[in-house]
Amino acid sequence: MAIFKGAGVAIVTPFHEDGSINYEKFAELVEDQIAGGTDAIIVCGTTGEASTLTHEEHLDLIRFCAEKVNGRVPVVAGTGSNCTKTAVYLSTEAEKYGVDGLLLVTPYYNKATQNGLYDHFKTIADSVKLPIILYNVPGRTGCNIMPETVVRLCTEVSNIVAIKEASGNISQAVKLMALANGKVDLYSGNDDQVVPLMSLGGKGVISVLSNVAPRQMHDICQKFFDGDIEGSMKEQLRAIELCGALFCEVNPIPVKTALNLMGKEVGPLHMPLSKMEPANVEKLKAAMQNYGIL
């Protein structure tokens, strides 16, 4: 059984001006997401700026999220690292907080071989009992986990069950699902490819767009699952301009800017991320207005 089905939000981490986590605001965002129909909360992922949090902040935010959600929707915690020992530590600690699953990014910078990736993920998985979603985003990590390796992991390691596929390579996703034989739950990691990947048997999306449009992203998935393929497709196409604007600068710069434009007051970004360029802010505003959320 899938950890979740539908649209899971890769939730942002709101900060105070001094860079500390704004837990009061984070709690508000969680409530907004659940009220908006989000199907899962993914905490401490790329969009949550996990790479700039201390280990203590990282784990405390996972704990806080799990307690705040309190079982209303699944919580998936990002606990990946380019250091296997660090990923084991974060994963075993997160498991204690009652999360429903873990999201493990491919180890960045090291550029591990496929055998190295297998050993890395198996070592982490063997340290916990939670179900695990692999996260393939080679544009950020410099490392691509191949379909054969994904299928091997999901076949040979009982609690590795899924992948968030954010390579943007539809052909790779097709090959993965052709090899998977039902053993891999596929989630889109790109908001502009949700319907195409669901057409391959995907379970939904781990979404940036859901931060600003949770109901709409939920509906794209639900319409598809309900058999309204045309309605799902129309909603996907209607969102394309906004999807593009949300990635006109590196994530999560635009989505945090968008939330601030909506009055959500999620605060600044952690360095080395910087303020959005003024011309791109105008592009984002226009896309949000066209989509009807500003």
pLDDT by 10s per residue, the chain, length 294? 789 999 999 999 999 999 999 999 999 999 999 999 999 999 999 999 999 999 999 999 999 999 999 999 999 999 999 999 999 999 999 999 999 999 999 999 999 999 999 999 999 999 999 999 999 999 999 999 999 999 999 999 999 999 999 999 999 999 999 999 999 999 999 999 999 999 999 999 999 999 999 999 999 999 999 999 999 999 999 999 999 999 999 999 999 999 999 999 999 999 999 999 999 999 999 999 999 999
Q: Which CATH superfamily is domain 6-228 in?
A: Aldolase class I (3.20.20.70)
Contact of 82 with 108, CB cutoff 8 Å:
yes
Q: What is the pLDDT of residue 126?
A: 98
**Distance separating the N- and C-terminal Cα atoms of the chain:** 37
Q: What is the pLDDT of residue 100?
A: 98
CA distance 78 to 103: 5
Active site (catalytic) residues: 135, 164
Q: What is the pLDDT of residue 155?
A: 97
Q: What is the pLDDT of residue 176?
A: 98
Domain ranges in the chain? 6-228
